[in-house]
Amino acid sequence: MALPDESAVVAELDQAIAGYLDHLAVERGLSGNTLTAYRRDLQRYRSYLVARGRTAADEVEESDVRAFVTTVRTGTDGGAPLAASSTARMLAAVHGWHRFCALEGLADHDPSLVVRPPAQPRRLPKAISTDDVERVLQAAAQGEGPVPLRDAALLELLYSTGGRISEVVGLDVDDLELDPGAVRLVGKGSKERVVPVGSYACEAVEAYLVRGRPALAGAGRGGPALFLNTRGARLSRQTAWAVLRQAAQRAGIPRADDVSPHTLRHSFATHLLAGGADVRVVQELLGHASVTTTQIYTHVTPDTLREVYAAAHPRARA
């Protein structure tokens, strides 16, 4: 099949994709990282459509979308074969774009409407024990100078709030209230939530603000960021990730290389629920839009089920 004229593709597909990305940035307020992911996914979809001779959104058929799912799973378009989870993410971008095109009059229907992502294996979130968390937090505080103070405050705050790494490194000093202990986190879609901060995290952050941050800020031009790197600029997600991994390695945590900031978030939720917290409270703390997302943390072991049954059922024991 001959490829269509490239100028026609630019005029149709590329403008439609650019319009959708502008909509996500302006109307939906998505973050730069999320927009980059959408752009990358839609560029792969665009190349696929061009290869099939589709030059406009209203030319795409349901069979094209279904074939695209198979294509990215197998990598027959020359791209990397994708796992079910990555395929689902890419299909979400495709769904959003086609829905946008239909609403904007660029197409008379949404050909992706009934196309579903491949089934994904259900994996329980990874969490580490409270003892392992404590060892990691202690390891982060080892050493002298402003960096250990920063690292201890960073990890204490991550575990205390269950915040996403992007939310915590994006904090400004004014987002914190150490008395009584609360922080304002800005999550997905620029949604804000106020989360309590425990006493250990408050103490660690206060020590960093008094004895650590001023030294780091002196290396830069000043700014509102709470967590700073050694050049006085806002700490990056990559550096924060490395801080946690190094602390896990020093603490001797099993599979330390697999410990990530999301591990602390998962552990936060799991430990709260194990301690008796209501799932809807945990939902609010995590900033989940739906309680269904939070319910994955409510898994319990058969031993725990037997213990609860024996303790609670009136006829469990003689």
- 136 and 284 both lie in a single domain: yes
Structure tokens at 194: 């106020």
Residue 122 domain flag:
no
Q: What is the pLDDT of residues 90-148, one digit of tens each?
A: 999 999 999 999 999 999 999 999 999 888 766 666 789 999 999 999 999 999 999 99
Please check whether residues 95 and 135 belong to one and the same domain.
Answer: no
Distance, CA of 8 to CA of 17 (rounded, Å): 14
146 and 233 assigned to the same domain = yes
| Structure confidence at residue 3 (pLDDT) | 44
Query: Is 66 known to be catalytic?
Result: no
The domain that holds 137 is classified in CATH as: 1.10.443.10
Q: Which domain holds residue 30?
A: 6-103
In the three-class reduction of DSSP (H, G, I as helix; E, B as strand; rest coil), residue 44 is classed as helix
Residue 40 pLDDT exceeds 90: yes
Q: Which one from 52, 164, 234, 266 is the annotated catalytic residue?
A: 164
Does some domain include residue 317?
no
Do 95 and 178 lie in a common domain?
no
Cis previous bond, 117, omega within 30: no
Separation CA 28–CA 2 (nearest Å): 37
309: in domain = no
Give the pLDDT of residue 303.
63
Instruction: Fill in the DSSP letter of residue 127.
Output: -
CATH code of the domain covering residue 93: 1.10.150
The pTM is what?
0.61
Question: What are the tokens at 243?
Answer: 């801080």
Reported confidence tier of residue 30, pLDDT bands at 50, 70, 90 = confident
158 with 233, same domain: the answer is yes
Distance between CA atoms of residues 96 and 23, nearest Å: 11
Residue 91 sits in the same domain as residue 139: no
- Among candidate residues 87, 103, 119, the one where a domain is terminated: 103
Judge if 84 and 209 occupy the same domain.
no
Mean pLDDT, the chain, rounded, equals 88
* 33-39-42 Cα angle (round to 5): 140
For residue 225, the model assigns a pLDDT of 95
Active-site residue flag, 297: yes
Q: Which of 188, 193, 237, 250 is catalytic?
A: 188
Across 185-190, average pLDDT: 84
Q: Which of 56, 87, 103 is the last residue of a domain?
A: 103
Other CB atoms within 10 Å distance of the CB of residue 192: 10
Do residue 177 and residue 38 come from a single domain? no
Same domain as 77, residue 151: no
Q: Are residues 160 and 213 in the same domain?
A: yes
Domain count, the chain: 2
Name residues whose C-beta falls within 8 Å of residue 111's C-beta, 6 or more positions apart in sequence.
60, 61, 62, 64, 65, 98
User: Given 23, 39, 66, 262, which residue is catalytic?
Assistant: 262
Of the ranges 123-127, 168-172, 200-204, 213-217, which one carries the lowest mean pLDDT score? 123-127
The alpha-carbon radius of gyration of the chain (Å, integer) is 24
β strands within 22-132, DSSP E: none
Q: In a 3-state reduction of DSSP, which class is residue 315?
A: coil
- Give the C-alpha distances (Å, rounded to integers) separating 307 from 28, 142, 273, 316: 46, 39, 16, 10
Does 85 share its domain with 227? no
Each residue's pLDDT tens digit, 250-303: 999 988 888 988 889 989 988 988 888 888 888 888 888 787 777 777 665 556
Asked if 262 is an active-site residue, the reply is yes
Catalytic hit among 98, 265, 266, 271: 265
